[in-house]
Amino acid sequence: MIAPMPVSLLINGEPMDAVVLPRLSLADFLRENLKLTGTHVGCEHGVCGACTIRVDGEIVRSCLMLAVQAHGASIETIEGLSDSGEVADLQAAFRQRNALQCGYCTPGMLITAQDLLKQSPVPDRAAIRQHLSGNYCRCTGYQAIVDAVEATAKARAGRSA
């Protein structure tokens, strides 16, 4: 029998202690144990980007990380980024440009886009497409998503979108 293990994490700025099975994915821990359902599970192989979160400031596919591997880490989910207002302008741009359609990929897209805008405040369209290339969207054809990220970058830089 596999024994549960203790983990201590900082989830969206809040300390959290839990006991989890060693094989529990971080995505399932966030969704099932903490009810943070903005972290979506699409492929469970790390290729779709729906489960993207930040771990210690770096974007991570949470379906590929075990909850026990995150012990001691600071985890940020879309709920935390939304509540803090960090992605409010991106969310508004996605709404304005209809870049969210079904919405399944949107949390991962927002986190990934925010990561890009932190690294490169005013990326060109090719850089936006490249950075978002690991996040799949079946509904939008990406044009509206790229438009939303580009508009947010320009607005943050004080230029008209």
Q: Which CATH superfamily is domain 87-154 in?
A: [2Fe-2S]-binding domain (1.10.150.120)
- Which alpha helices (DSSP H) does 50-142 contain, by range? 78-84, 88-96, 106-119, 125-132
Tell the burial category of 142 from Cβ atoms under 10 Å away from its Cβ (0-12, 13-18, 19+). middle
Q: Each residue of 116-142: pLDDT tens digit?
A: 999 999 999 999 999 999 999 988 889
Average pLDDT, the chain: 95
Does residue 147 have a pLDDT over 70?
yes
Q: Each residue of 25-59: pLDDT tens digit?
A: 999 999 999 999 999 998 888 889 999 999 999 99
pTM for this prediction: 0.93
Q: Parse the chain into domains and list their residue ranges.
A: 5-81, 87-154
Q: Enter the CATH code of domain 5-81.
A: 3.10.20.30
**Token reading at 10:** 């900082």
Check residue 161 and give its pLDDT.
Answer: 54
Between residues 161 and 81, the one the model is more confident about: 81
Cα-based torsion angle of the residue sequence 118, 120, 107, 24 in order, rounded to the nearest 10 degrees? -70
